[in-house]
Amino acid sequence: MPTERPIERSVPAQRALRLACGTALCTAASYGLALPLSFLSPVLAVLLLASMPRPLPVKMALVLTLVAAFTTSLGLLLVPLLRYYPVCGVLLISVGLFLVFTYGLRGGNVLIMTFLVIGMTMISAAGFASFELAMAVIGALVKGLLLAVVIVGLSHLLFPEPANSPAPPPAPALPAEDVPRVAIRATLIVLPTFLLVLIDPASYLPIILKAVSLGQQSTTTRTHHAGRELLGSTLLGGLLAVLFWCALSLFVHLWMFFLWMLLFALFVARKLYRLHPTQLTPGFWLNTLITMIILLGQSVEDSAAGKDVYTAFAVRMGLFILVTLYSGVMMHLLVAHRENRQGVT
């Protein structure tokens, strides 16, 4: 027992440092290399570091990249259907989202589920605007994933996982009878956002990532505080993005971008890994960090394009809040509907 307690204390610290350092390195590398949709790479790095305590082997990394390219490219097949038979296209995407979420809820690979959802929504919406935009988004996803995999491996070298560290507990499995209901709930959260993005894909594509994140979080959050937790993480992510932007404005430089991201990511990672325990779930803090990265990345792109950063941020934050409120309403309506049916039975 005396030899195990220091290890238990060191493992969360190592994981928090790994997550913060990996996120900051990926952010600096992505913007330094001027990758398209530069915020995608740190978002993918956060997902990989938070879900995998071990580094990906080289073969697995290549397979994951090929799977990402293949699954996202499937969205291109839906573009003609959306363009010439929009009602049938939307219905087919709805069924596809339901099946993909069902696959994930029954123990399927979460990353594959994420890329399939992105392919059916983000890529098809981009292709609806133009084929070149869809190919650019696919290229950005593949490049961002490759960079994220490299940075994740480097982060594990800098902050290695102890050989005898405890494995993270598996996610609690849903009862088989609840899987269709929760899959429908996740589909209803993502689908309206997809319809909004069809209006102006070039401006609203990041909203898809937020909706996918909320849809996935709704499949694992089963408490009556779920709606408030989703909204709270969105608001906190927006607040952190504002503070980050103000701090970065004091001295605009790539290395300052790296250092500020390291500080903000470490603040969230300490709470995510319970180094500073709170009553909020790890999903809350993970959603907060992802929201901050997306909002901040879009503000950087707006600034580089000469747009009004503050107006664009206000519009984007408003859309994020509306999407989050809608997801919370859907969760409560479906729970209330289920309780009414059980009462009648």
- CA gap 119, 60 in Å, rounded: 21
- CA gap 22, 16 in Å, rounded: 10
Contact 83, 91 (CB under 8 A): no
- CA gap 56, 151 in Å, rounded: 11
pLDDT, one tens digit per residue, over 69-84 is: 888 888 888 889 888 8
Mean pLDDT of the chain: 82
Which of residues 59 and 39 earns the better pLDDT score? 39
Q: What is the pLDDT of residue 10?
A: 76
Q: Write the DSSP assignment of 175-207 as a string of letters.
A: PGGGHHHHHHHHHHHHHHHHHHHHH-HHHHHHH
Residue 24 has pLDDT above 50, yes or no: yes
Which of residues 110 and 27 earns the better pLDDT score? 27
Contact 178, 315 (CB under 8 A): no
Q: Is residue 343 very low, low, confident or very high in pLDDT (cuts 50, 70, 90)? A: low
- CA gap 291, 332 in Å, rounded: 22
Averaged pLDDT, 191-203: 78
Distance from the first to the final alpha carbon of the chain: 51
Q: Is residue 22 very low, low, confident or very high in pLDDT (cuts 50, 70, 90)? A: very high
Q: What is the pLDDT of residue 225?
A: 55
Averaged pLDDT, 321-325: 80
pLDDT, one tens digit per residue, over 260-310 is: 999 999 999 999 988 888 888 888 898 899 989 998 988 888 887 778 888
Q: Of 344, 324, 341, 66, give the one whose Cα is nearest residue 211.
A: 324
Could you tell me the pTM of the whole model? 0.84
Tokens of 36: 């398209």
Share of the chain above pLDDT 70, in %: 85
Averaged pLDDT, 192-209: 77
- CA gap 108, 262 in Å, rounded: 32
Residue 205 has pLDDT above 60, yes or no: yes
Averaged pLDDT, 120-126: 87
- CA gap 313, 298 in Å, rounded: 8
